[in-house]
Structure 1
């Protein structure tokens, strides 16, 4: 199972799955999850990490919550539940090379689940950020995270991810990132 220790050969990349406003009212804990995804997006921007945002059927479900779209994010539309089956997503992923992919978004038991499993089966290092995913039903989220772990996908908290991205308190952007967390 991959772990969060920095591997210089695997650059981190943040993947935000389907955080679209039209879906938000139906989600359990959307505001808390949105705050976590926003924090992760801000840190990814500060650390200049690759950042991909997917939108499920944007013609029908609308755009990503605008507070989550950062200047360095690449937004891609998809109509498949697994982003891996989307040509636009694969095209956005290819330039990253071998990366450790950190997934957040919604819904935990559908698009996040299928994307994480498929990426992991293809040999990618994958971490799902537990406090940055949601579903309409909290039980569905819990079951999805349990099954992802059983399938070998790493699941952890957003702060664990952020501190792994920094690796050390000597990171030149440590204080700037720490200010966002406090």
Structure 2
């Protein structure tokens, strides 16, 4: 798993990824969301679409980009305990030291990791997660488990904010042998 600094670097500066899943070294992921090309088709007959009929970029990508930027600014303000805002890229870069100073690194790592994963999914660099609707979380007992079945690293996680897995105070995560225990824990 990437550190908080590495996740923020992927979002803002360059997408380097991690050892087992390297990035391409290209522009930051949020920049890619902001400049994502059109997802609409050109007229098949070579004709012209009416002006303004196509959005300048993917609506979904713009929506996620704006949401992450707003949440980053708010999180930075909370960590600094300040009412003053910074530009989104400065706020994102200030999050890792702010999380350390506020002693909230695990919580902030989870939030930034969720942003990172969302951007990778929206950009198509990673497949979407799937709701395991028949599986109960082993830690909280709720049907709030999602997962991804990548060939090299199948994994699942609980999205219940109230879930506390052991001493981690974080929602449960499932990989390896523990993932197989989760899949056997089904409710009809």
The two structures have a TM-score, normalised by structure 2, of: 0.31
Q: Greater relative contact order: 1 or 2 (C-alpha under 8 angstroms, separation 6 or more)?
A: 1
Q: As a proportion of its length, which structure holds more strand? A: 1
The two structures have a TM-score, normalised by structure 1, of: 0.31
Q: Based on CA coordinates, which of the two structures has the bigger radius of gyration?
A: 2
